[in-house]
Amino acid sequence: MLTGCTPWPEELQRRYREAGYWEDITLWQMFEQSATKTPDRIALVFEDQRITYRELERQANRLALKFSEIGLKNRDRVVFQLANSPELIYAFYGLTKIGVIPVMALPAHRFTEISHFAGHAGAVGYLIPNQIKDFDYRELAGEITVAVPSVQHIIVAGQANEGQHSLTDWLAEPKVPGDEYRGDQGDPEDVALMLLSGGTTALSKLIPRTHNDFVYNCRQSSVVSSIDAKTVMLTLLPMSHNYNLGSPGILTALASGGCVVIASSINTEHVFSLIEKEQVSLILGAVPLVTKWLTSDIPEQHNLSSIKIIMNGGAKLAPELRQRIQTKFGCVFQESFGMGEGLLNLTRLNDEDEVILHSSGRPMSPGDEIKIVDENGNEVADGEKGELTCRGPYTIQGYYYAPESSANAFSPDGFYHTGDLVCRRNGYLYVEGRIKDLINRGGEKVSIDEVENHILADDRVENVSIVAMPDAQYGEKACAFVKLKAGQKLTREELTSFLLDRGIAKFKLPERLEIVESFPLSPAGKILRRELRRIIEETIKAEQESEQAKQRVSQL
Ligand code: J2J
């Protein structure tokens, strides 16, 4: 295994093989099996392109060859920041075929995050889109090569700048016989990809996922979500995130002979036209999207009879909204409570409504081991709240080169401490809170530590504390309480521009700023976040009530 990673103990490895969880094939081989079985089926739909399994395999092979020709090889790491598109899938398979490890960044990431991923991973390459809206990734790549000299290959989907490679040009070259990669393949026991941790520390940790574990992750999620060759999966969220990648995600659909429809925007009209046109059967949704669909009358203007399952993942969806989904769309709702580190919990399609509407699902594999523990690490009784800890055939045993974070997050017997507070009833988990310091913005995770550190770098700021505030569409958003230095002033716009100048992703920006004279403190002098959360909740409630009262007056 790649150095810097923690393998499963021998005993567990043996157990996972004996139980048939680990097949000892690579992600590429799993895809190849489907492509060989049904080469003429449509694998991908994107805008006006309909791509067969044969074509997808050919393009991935083509890229595997090109990647190896420029010198990428087994166990090299590359930062992978492509946007949802067929190119993303060609490139992902092309890399995994030759054992190159993509570090799965999101299009929203900027200099600060990318330079950290590249530096920490010792990346030799960086894959980017050319431009999205007014942001030019080729320029960012130029800055990254200066900041992280190990990064030598910039590979661009679209037109490249001088000294960079164009993925699009490679894909467009005419194919000649024998024009195929025939070198080393990835090793099933080795790391296949690195995901980003949901971020509780100032800098995101890298999650090394092996071929064996991720292949199983895909296989087992396809069983639990009934994904097969008839599935037409709609993907709207970033495919580089674990949820849309493989839990169950695009790799699962492609391993099952299904069809992946890639939305080119999350505009509601576009989404529902696409569902009707392509006869989508499974939608991978998230809180902000689902909330929007439920208040829109656009869905009713389309024939949506093909939808069998609407799934929600990344953050908990309220029971009333789950019920409304089932009623409005005439489908089954499925809750997906997962994590980049591994464990995936799903409600089952034939569960009682009570479970489908209220629970966060149960572990998808019989090989998942769950312990719910109190502050002292002792297991709590069923029905009592505690921290969810887990171990299993697709849950990592440690972060990449991060001994301290790994020691904090994993117990000596290899159980991962999720930071989620849950209750277990009849084997099902119910998420009831968390003990980790992050904001879950409708599924996007923002590390409180990270953003507070950036804000503290502002000369006007004496101290800051970020807390979650309730939000109707996202569930929660970040509110920054700031104490300024004497005589200073700060508006939210000024804070936003200061943070953007520091090169961080937009979704991390606090969406409300409260200037305070002092912070509520514990007897030990620590800022009482709980108290700040209460203050902001009450303030928002009072504002909403006064807004409603105003509306009533204006209607008189
Ligand atoms: C409550 N909290 C949830 C849910 C994730 C599938 C789905 C999601 C992710 C993911 C994933 C939640 N209800 N339904 O990797 O494979 C919160 C928990 C969890 C953290 C993990 C997948 N679904 N969460 O969101 O690594 O706090 O993975 O520990 O980004 O999201 O975040 P992440």
Cβ(395)–Cβ(370) below 8 Å: no
The 3-state DSSP class for residue 256 equals coil
Does 173 share its domain with 189?
A: yes
Give the residue among 503, 237, 417 at the shortest CA–CA distance from 248.
Answer: 237
107 CB neighbour count, 10 Å cutoff = 17
Rg (CA), the chain: 24
| Atom nearest to 196 CA in ligand 1 | 26
SS3 283: strand
Residues contacting 79, CB < 8 A, separation 6+: 102, 103, 105, 114, 117, 118, 121, 123, 125, 126, 127, 144, 151
Among the three residues 192, 207, 222, which one is the final residue of a domain in this structure? 207
CA of 314 to the centre of ligand 1 (A): 4
First and final CA of the chain: distance in angstroms? 71
For the record, the structure tokens of 37 come out as 């079985």
Q: Please tell me the chain's helix, strand, coil percentages from 3-state DSSP, rounded to the nearest 5.
A: 35, 25, 40
Residue with tokens 């208040």: 295
Q: Are 494 and 484 in contact (CB under 8 A)?
A: no
Q: Which atom of ligand 1 is nearest to the CA of 316?
A: 13
Cβ burial of 502 (10 Å; 0-12, 13-18, 19+) is middle
- The minimum-distance atom of ligand 1 relative to the CA of 418 is 29
Q: What is the pLDDT of residue 312?
A: 98
Taking CA atoms only, the protein residue closest to ligand 1 atom 28 is 339
Domain containing residue 543 = 438-555
In ligand 1, the atom with minimum distance to the C-alpha of 340 is 26
Q: For residues 70 and 164, what is the distance between their CA atoms, to the nearest angstrom?
A: 11
How far is residue 156's CA from residue 493's CA, in Å, rounded to a whole number?
A: 33
Say yes or no: 401 and 460 in one domain.
no
Whole-angstrom distance, CA of residue 551 vs CA of residue 250: 46
The CATH number that applies at residue 469 is 3.30.300.30
- Give the ligand 1 atom nearest the CA of 434: 27
With 0-12 / 13-18 / 19 or more C-beta atoms within 10 angstroms meaning exposed / middle / buried, residue 57 is buried
Return the ligand 1 atom nearest residue 438 CA: 27
Residue 214: HSE in the Cβ half-sphere, 13 Å Cα cutoff = 31
CA of 447 to the centre of ligand 1 (A): 14
Residues 428 and 448 in one domain: no
Atom 20, ligand 1: residue with shortest CA distance: 339
Q: Whose CA is nearest to atom 27 of ligand 1?
A: 420
- Pairing of β 153-157 and β 282-285: unpaired
CA distance 508 to 510: 6
Helix (H) / strand (E) element for 429: namely strand 428-434
Query: Is residue 219 situated within a structural domain?
Result: no
- How far, in Å, is the centroid of ligand 1 from the Cα of 221? 15
Query: CA–CA distance from 266 to each of 270, 318, 469 (Å)?
Result: 7, 21, 25
CA of 170 to the centre of ligand 1 (A): 36
Domain membership of residue 235 (yes or no) is no
Could you count the other beta carbons within 10 Å of the beta carbon of residue 483?
Answer: 16
Q: How much distance in Å is there from the Cα of 313 to the middle of ligand 1?
A: 6
User: Is position 8 within any domain?
Assistant: no
97 with 183, same domain?
A: yes
Q: What is the bridge-based pairing of β-strands 206-210 and 153-157?
A: unpaired
**200 C-alpha to ligand 1 centroid (Å):** 13
Q: Which residues, at least 6 apart from 48, have a Cβ–Cβ distance to it below 8 Å?
A: none
The angle, 0 to 180 degrees and rounded to 10, between the axes of the packed helices 111-121 and 137-147 is 50
pLDDT of res. 198: 81
Q: Which of 164, 156, 161 is nearest to 128 (CA)?
A: 156
Residue 178 has a pLDDT of 73
Q: Note the pLDDT of residue 337.
A: 98
User: Ligand 1 center to residue 343 CA distance, Å?
Assistant: 9
Q: What is the DSSP letter of 519?
A: -
The last residue of one of the domains, among 207, 227, 250, is 207
Tell whether 466 and 424 lie within a shared domain. no
Residue 556 has a pLDDT of 80
Tally of CB atoms within 10 A around 293? 21
Residue 431 alpha carbon, nearest atom of ligand 1: 1
The Å distance, Cα 184 to ligand 1 centre, comes to 34
Could you tell me the distance, in angstroms and rounded to a whole number, from the CA of residue 337 to the centre of ligand 1?
5
* CA 281 – CA 331 distance, rounded (Å): 9
CB of 363 within 8 A of CB of 348? no
Pair 192, 314 in one domain: no
Q: How far is the CA of 342 from the centre of ligand 1 (A)?
A: 10
Q: Computed from CA positions of residues 229, 232, 238, 241, in that sequence, does the dihedral angle turn out positive or negative?
A: negative
CATH code, 105? 3.40.50.980
Residue nearest atom 15 in ligand 1 by C-alpha distance: 339
In tens digits, the chain (556 residues) has pLDDT values of: 999 999 999 999 999 999 999 999 999 999 999 999 999 999 999 999 999 999 999 999 999 999 999 999 999 999 999 999 999 999 999 999 999 999 999 999 999 999 999 999 999 999 999 999 999 999 999 999 999 999 999 999 999 999 999 999 999 998 777 777 888 889 999 999 999 998 677 789 999 999 999 999 999 999 999 999 999 999 999 999 999 999 999 999 999 999 999 999 999 999 999 999 999 999 999 999 999 999 999 999 999 999 999 999 999 999 999 999 999 999 999 999 999 999 999 999 999 999 999 999 999 999 999 999 999 999 999 999 999 999 999 999 999 999 999 999 999 999 999 999 999 999 999 999 999 999 999 999 999 999 999 999 999 999 999 999 999 999 999 999 999 999 999 999 999 999 999 999 999 999 999 999 999 999 999 999 999 999 999 999 999 999 999 988 888 8
Same domain as 123, residue 160 = yes
Q: Do 81 and 111 meet the contact criterion of CB atoms below 8 Å apart? A: no
Q: Residue 1 in 3-state DSSP?
A: coil
The token pair at 379 is 């297991």
SS3 446: strand
Closest CA to ligand 1's atom 19: 339
User: What is the structure's pLDDT at 407?
Assistant: 95
Q: Tell me whether residue 33 is in a domain.
A: yes
CA distance 119 to 150: 8
**Centroid of ligand 1 to alpha carbon of 198 (angstroms):** 8
Residue 197 located in a structural domain: yes
Q: How far is the CA of 131 from the centre of ligand 1 (A)?
A: 29
Residue list, ligand 1 pocket, CB within 6 Å: 198, 242-243, 247, 313-316, 335-340, 344, 360, 418, 420, 431, 434, 440, 443, 445
Instruction: Say if residue 291 is in the same domain as residue 195.
Output: no
- Which of 205, 247, 290, 339 has most ligand 1 atoms within 8 Å of CB, for mutation? 339
Show Cβ contacts of residue 62 under 8 Å, excluding neighbours closer than 6 positions.
90, 94, 170, 171, 173, 175, 179, 180
Atom of ligand 1 nearest to the CA of 335: 14
Q: Which atom of ligand 1 is nearest to the CA of 207?
A: 26
What is the domain count for the chain?
A: 3
Which residue's CA is minimally distant from atom 30 of ligand 1?
Answer: 198
Residues 426 and 354 in one domain: yes
Q: Which atom of ligand 1 is nearest to the CA of 344?
A: 16
Phi first, then psi: what are they for 286, rounded to 5°?
A: -150, 165
Residues 411 and 459 in one domain: no
Asked if the structure places residue 455 within a domain, the reply is: yes
CATH number, position 429: 3.40.50.12780
Distance, in Å, from the CA atom of 116 to the CA atom of 453, rounded to the nearest integer, reads 15
Whether residue 171 sits in one domain with residue 142: yes
CA 241–ligand 1 middle distance (angstroms):
10
Decide if 258 is inside a domain: no
Q: Tell me how many degrees the CA angle 475-481-486 measures, rounded to the nearest 5.
A: 165
The last residue of a domain, from among 172, 207, 242: 207
Bridge partners of 362, per DSSP, are 346
Examine the domain organization and report whether 368 and 516 are in the same domain. no
Whether residue 254 lies inside any domain: the answer is no
Pocket test for ligand 1, best of 194, 333, 337, 394 (most atoms within 8 A of CB): 337
| Ligand 1 centroid from CA 32, angstroms | 29
